[in-house]
Chain A
Amino acid sequence: MKLDGLRPIEDRKIVDRVLKGDTEAFNLLVHQWEKPIYNFIFRLIGDREEAMDLCQESFMKAYRELATLKDRNRFSSWLYRIAHNTCYSRLRKDIGRTFVELDPDIGGHRQTVESRLAVEKALQHLPEEQREAVVLKVFHDLKFEEIAVIQGSPVSTVKSRLYMGFEKLRSILG
């Protein structure tokens, strides 16, 4: 059987299938989004295992609340929003705890590992909202308007967060 030709299917179509009762199809959405969502959460939280838990929790919530998704063309923003809420409720629970437990053994070449660590460390110096805005913009290429929806903040606030975040990162990363 040939597997090479498998291509990502439009989220909207999969959401339709799931809501029509083909619950297994939800695994396609998971498959398409687990890596970006995991990376989003990991960069926000800074802890691999914690990120995995939160990622899993986000997808469970997404499954349970899928019927409430109003605009099926915006599944991904909606999913990021759920991941955002999941992370923030965890962060609120862990006030005073800092997530800077970074594991250098994820693999890859030494140099990429080092630059990854430098970036992750620098990101952890930013306040959460700034960090999140930077991560969503730089690594996930989202529009300011999408980030505003995810963060539940005005677009102008998101832009300020990004600007201030960049100023700080510049002083840290050189």
Chain B
Amino acid sequence: MTHLGERITDFVFGELAPPEMDEARRHLAACADCRKEVEQFERTRSLLKMSPEVEPPRRIVFEFEKRKTNPIWQWLAPGAVAAAILIAVLLASQPHVQWNQSQLTISFGGAPAPAVVSPPAPVVEGVSAQQYDYDRILKEIERRLDKRDASQLKRIQRLQDQLVYLKAETSEFERVAIQTIAASGTQD
């Protein structure tokens, strides 16, 4: 067998077929040059792997249906930190993108998907919804987020994760409940 050359990538990432893998191993046993290459390749890979994954700065949640109340907003607000930031950004064009507590809510209104309806815009104190400088808001949010205790932020994110799960999983119940309430005429 000749030197591994570019096949070194297949070898290091275990993508050679078993017979070729054996052949490569036999070659490596006899060839110091290729052994060195493999070692360096592995070293670069471990250096890269030392770089951990990062947390997305926000969570993405899609909001599909028109409701009297928005459970996610309802749940998050009381669970949030005392100095909760509540800023919504309503983009002039669809879809709406809303921002709250490290969570991004995207709603489809007039979107290509026909079944999808825009949810009611949350009431936001002190923020006028139009012509907002998106970058500036995000910078301000970041500045405030940085001030917060990191562990608290993590706890909130975990809670949000669980809520997203729970919300999606219980959407069936929710839909039925909304229909029942609507049918009984006591929704208000």
Shortest distance from the beta carbon of B37 to any chain A beta carbon, whole Å: 10
The smallest C-beta distance from B47 to any residue of chain A, in angstroms, reads: 5
Is A105 a contact of B146 with CB atoms below 8 Å? yes
B168: chain A residues at CB < 8 Å are 24-25, 27-28, 31
A21 adjacent to chain B (CB < 8 Å): yes
Closest to B7 in A: A159
CB of B89 to closest CB in A, whole Å = 12
Give the residues in chain A near B45, CB-CB below 8 Å: 138, 166
Contact (Cβ within 8 A) B62 A26: yes
Q: Which of B159-182 contact A (CB under 8 A)?
A: 161-162, 164-169, 171-172
Given known A-B contacts A55-B60, A56-B97, A144-B15, A115 and B165 have beta carbons under 8 A apart? no
Q: Give chain B nearest CB distance to A4 CB in angstroms.
A: 9
With a cutoff of 8 Å between Cβ atoms, the chain B residues found around residue A83 in the complex are none
Residue pair B56, A52 in contact (C-beta under 8 Å): yes
Bound CA–CA A115/B26 (angstroms): 35
Contacts A22-B171, A56-B97, A64-B111; A163 near B8 (Cβ below 8 A): yes
| Chain A hits for B165, CB < 8 A | 3, 6, 28, 31
Q: Which chain B residues lie closer than 8 Å to A120 at the CB level?
A: 51
Q: Is there an interface contact between A170 and B40, defined as CB atoms closer than 8 Å? A: yes
B55 touches A23 (CB 8 A): no
Residue of B nearest to A142 (CB): B13
Cβ-defined partner of A55 (8 Å) among B53, B56, B169? B56
B50 touches A119 (CB 8 A): yes
Q: Is the beta-carbon distance between A34 and B57 smaller than 8 angstroms?
A: no
- B52 interfacial by beta-carbon distance below 8 Å: yes
Contacting residues, chain B, for A30 (C-beta < 8 A): 60-62, 164
Cβ–Cβ contact A39 & B54, under 8 A: yes
* Cβ B113 vs Cβ A63 within 8 A: yes
Determine how close the nearest CB of chain B comes to the CB of A29; give it in whole angstroms.
9
Task: Report Cα–Cα, A3/B159, bound state, in Å.
Answer: 10
Q: Tell me whether A39 and B113 are in contact (CB under 8 A).
A: no
- Please, how many angstroms separate the alpha-carbon atoms of A51 and B60 in the complex? 13
In whole Å, how far is B95's beta carbon from the nearest beta carbon of chain A? 7
Query: Which residues between 81 and 118 of chain A lie within 8 Å of chain B, taking CB atoms?
Result: 105-108, 112, 115-116, 118
B59 within 8 A of A: yes
Q: Mark B45-82, 1 if CB is under 8 A from A, else 0.
A: 10111111111111111101100000000000000000
Identify 9 new A-B residue pairs, CB closer than 8 A, beyond the known A3-B162, A116-B54, A120-B51: A25-B171, A30-B164, A38-B56, A48-B54, A56-B60, A108-B52, A119-B47, A119-B50, A138-B48
21 contacts between A and B (CB under 8 A): A6-B162, A22-B171, A22-B172, A23-B64, A23-B113, A24-B64, A24-B168, A35-B53, A38-B56, A48-B54, A49-B57, A49-B138, A52-B56, A55-B60, A112-B50, A112-B52, A115-B50, A118-B51, A137-B13, A163-B8, A173-B44
